[in-house]
């Protein structure tokens, strides 16, 4: 598959123009995400994910039975309060209603996602630092 380099250049320009760290572009079965860190000398990271890959990831979480915990907002999921810190929830760990499952950061605001009921974490469906959508399954509770 050939990607139009002008799209990548334009997305990278938007990162600088609007002081963003990440931007995503989707058209038919093509999805391009451009992101970069805010450090000195940082370089953009370009990811190309087909819709089939996204659907496979989503179908994996739908195959597991249990209570699904979904993201309340669009943002970036963090499994621990700080890099290298102890995770809020891990597979197999018991968790109580109201305990934080993970944090979803949006617009520099850290939003704690509470557990809806007592149970055991059956599956964590996102990686640390992964972008999440509203309503996306982020964990499954047994």
Tens digit of each residue's pLDDT (9 = 90 or more) over 82-109: 888 899 999 999 999 999 999 999 888 8
The mean-pLDDT minimum among 54-58, 63-67, 80-84, 134-138 falls in 54-58
Q: Which residue has the tokens 């469906």?
A: 125
Query: In this model, does residue 13 exceed pLDDT 60?
Result: yes
The mean-pLDDT minimum among 11-15, 55-59, 69-73 falls in 55-59
The CA distance from 63 to 85, in Å, is 30
Residue 84, both tokens: 């290298």
Nearest to 110 by CA among 85, 73, 69, 70: 73
The CA distance from 59 to 74, in Å, is 20
Q: For position 15, what pLDDT does the model report?
A: 81
The CA distance from 69 to 114, in Å, is 9
Query: In this model, does residue 36 exceed pLDDT 80?
Result: no
The CA distance from 25 to 7, in Å, is 9
What's the longest Cα–Cα distance across the chain?
50
Query: In this model, does residue 70 exceed pLDDT 80?
Result: yes
Query: In this model, does residue 32 exceed pLDDT 90?
Result: no
Q: For position 38, what pLDDT does the model report?
A: 52
Residue 8, both tokens: 């990548």
Q: For position 48, what pLDDT does the model report?
A: 52
Instruction: Give the DSSP H or E segment for 91.
Output: none
Confidence band for 61, pLDDT divided at 50, 70 and 90: very low
């Amino acid at each position: 598959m050939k990607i139009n380099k002008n799209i990548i250049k334009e997305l990278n320009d938007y990162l600088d123009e609007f002081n963003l760290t990440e931007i995503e572009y989707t058209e038919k079965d093509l999805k391009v995400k451009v992101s970069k860190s805010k450090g000195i000398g940082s370089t953009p990271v370009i990811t190309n994910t087909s819709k089939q890959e996204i659907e496979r990831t989503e179908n994996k979480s739908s195959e597991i039975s249990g209570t699904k915990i979904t993201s309340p907002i669009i943002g970036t999921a963090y499994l621990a309060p700080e890099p290298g810190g102890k995770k809020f929830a891990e597979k197999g760990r018991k968790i109580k209603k109201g305990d934080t499952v993970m944090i979803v950061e949006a617009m520099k605001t850290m939003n704690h996602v509470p557990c809806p009921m007592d149970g055991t974490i059956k599956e964590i469906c996102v990686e640390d630092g992964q972008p999440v959508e509203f309503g996306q399954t982020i964990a499954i509770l047994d």
